[in-house]
Structure 1
Amino acid sequence: MSRQTRNLLPFFLGIPMAAWVAWDLRGYGLPADSVLAVGLMAWACFSRAADLLISARTQTVHRCPDSRCSFSVRLSGVDAAESRRWQEVAHAHPHHRGV
């Protein structure tokens, strides 16, 4: 999947979901601007969720080797050298979170 397609897909996936939410709200007698606001909010939420799900397939995650530490780095679209550099950062970070 190309980067441009990966960027546009969440945008278009959110539209039918937001329209469905707005369509369901029309029967409650809400003002049109309220339905529009909720529809736009639903579009933003569904688009962001789709974006996170799509980008999760292409991400690399480097975590601290200490099982008690929650430090992690998420990378997308980097070469092997950059990924290795961030892996070293994750293994040698100075502050352990969650300890």
Structure 2
Amino acid sequence: MTRTRKRLRHLALAIGTAAGAVVATDSGLRLAACGVPTSLITICALSVFATVNAVGGSVADALATTTYRCPSGCGFKVRLRSLDAGEHRRQQEVAASHPSHT
């Protein structure tokens, strides 16, 4: 993984965490204004935070992943992360000659 991709991944994780905290706090404050018990506010805020944070993690993984597809368009894919150039080349060849084409 290149240095730029690592930085993008870390930035996406940080943004996801910050966005999760903001949305969870907002949800908690809105529920508190309606008179919802504290235990329910806590549960809802934590679940909202976890969901938004998980989406940020998915975005970070998507930014850090390289996908090789079968050149004939059959839908076969190889997804890679954190490999050197030689290993990337080998996986490109795997995608081009996967078992249904040999």
Q: TM-score when scaled to structure 2?
A: 0.67
2-side partners of 1:95 and 1:36: how far apart?
A: 51
User: Does 1:17 find its partner at 2:23?
Assistant: yes
User: Does 1:6 find its partner at 2:14?
Assistant: no
Match of 1:51 among 36, 53, 57: 57
Aligned residues between the structures: 94
Match of 1:78 among 62, 68, 83: 83
Structure 1 residue 87, shift from structure 2 partner: 1.8
Structure 1 residue 85, shift from structure 2 partner: 2.0
1-side partners of 2:66 and 2:85: how far apart?
A: 11
Structure 1 residue 83, shift from structure 2 partner: 1.4
In the alignment, which residue of structure 2 is the partner of 1:65?
71
Is the helix fraction higher in 1 or 2?
2
Which runs of 5 or more residues in structure 1 are unaligned? none
- Give the fraction of aligned pairs with identical amino acids, expressed as a percent: 33
> What root-mean-square deviation, in Å, do the aligned CA atoms of Structure 1 and Structure 2 show?
2.7
Structure 1 residue 43, shift from structure 2 partner: 1.0
CA deviation map 1:7-48 (0-9, x unaligned) = 851334421222122222223333222221221111111112
Which amino acid in 2 is paired with 1:25?
L
Structure 1 residue 77, shift from structure 2 partner: 1.9
Which runs of 5 or more residues in structure 2 are unaligned? none
Q: TM-score when scaled to structure 1?
A: 0.69
